[in-house]
């Protein structure tokens, strides 16, 4: 299997995964991996940049903590989908 095919298979497995502990391990593993590009005889290092602003990242972290502590009201995907269907018709 080529690299792109492997990436697609991994993405499918990640999307299907319901185990938060496994997902956090994958996240930690990817964060540890230094992003780099290589050509014969050359090495380039890239800084990890987020497309999100600092404020957006802080809000995500805040909501993640609230969810982990049971402080955030959530609903099932089915309920969410039904609300979207009722409001927008799709």
Instruction: Name the DSSP letter for residue 34.
Output: P
Pairwise pLDDT comparison (1 vs 67), residue with the higher score: 67
pLDDT level of residue 65 (50, 70, 90 thresholds): very high
Average pLDDT, the chain: 84
36 in Cβ contact with 46 (< 8 Å): yes
- Check residue 34 and give its pLDDT: 58
More confident residue, 19 or 31: 19
**Chain position carrying tokens 């990640």:** 14
Cβ count near 17 (within 10 Å): 12
pLDDT at 50 over 80: no
Cα–Cα distance measured from residue 45 to residue 73, given in angstroms and rounded to the nearest whole number: 41
Q: Is 89 left (phi over 0), alpha (psi -120 to 50) or beta?
A: left
- pLDDT bin (cut points 50, 70, 90) of residue 19 is very high
3-state secondary structure of 9: helix
Q: Residue range 7-24: average pLDDT?
A: 92
Query: Quick one: pLDDT band at residue 62, thresholds 50, 70, 90?
Result: very high
């Amino acid at each position: 299997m080529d690299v792109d095919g492997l990436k697609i298979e991994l993405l499918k497995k990640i999307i299907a995964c319901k185990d938060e502990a496994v997902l956090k391990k994958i996240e930690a593993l990817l964060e540890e991996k230094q992003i780099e590009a290589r050509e014969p005889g050359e090495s380039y290092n890239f800084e990890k940049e987020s497309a999100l602003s600092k404020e957006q990242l802080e809000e995500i972290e805040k909501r993640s903590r609230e969810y982990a502590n049971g402080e955030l009201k959530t609903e099932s995907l089915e309920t969410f989908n039904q609300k979207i269907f009722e409001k927008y018709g799709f």
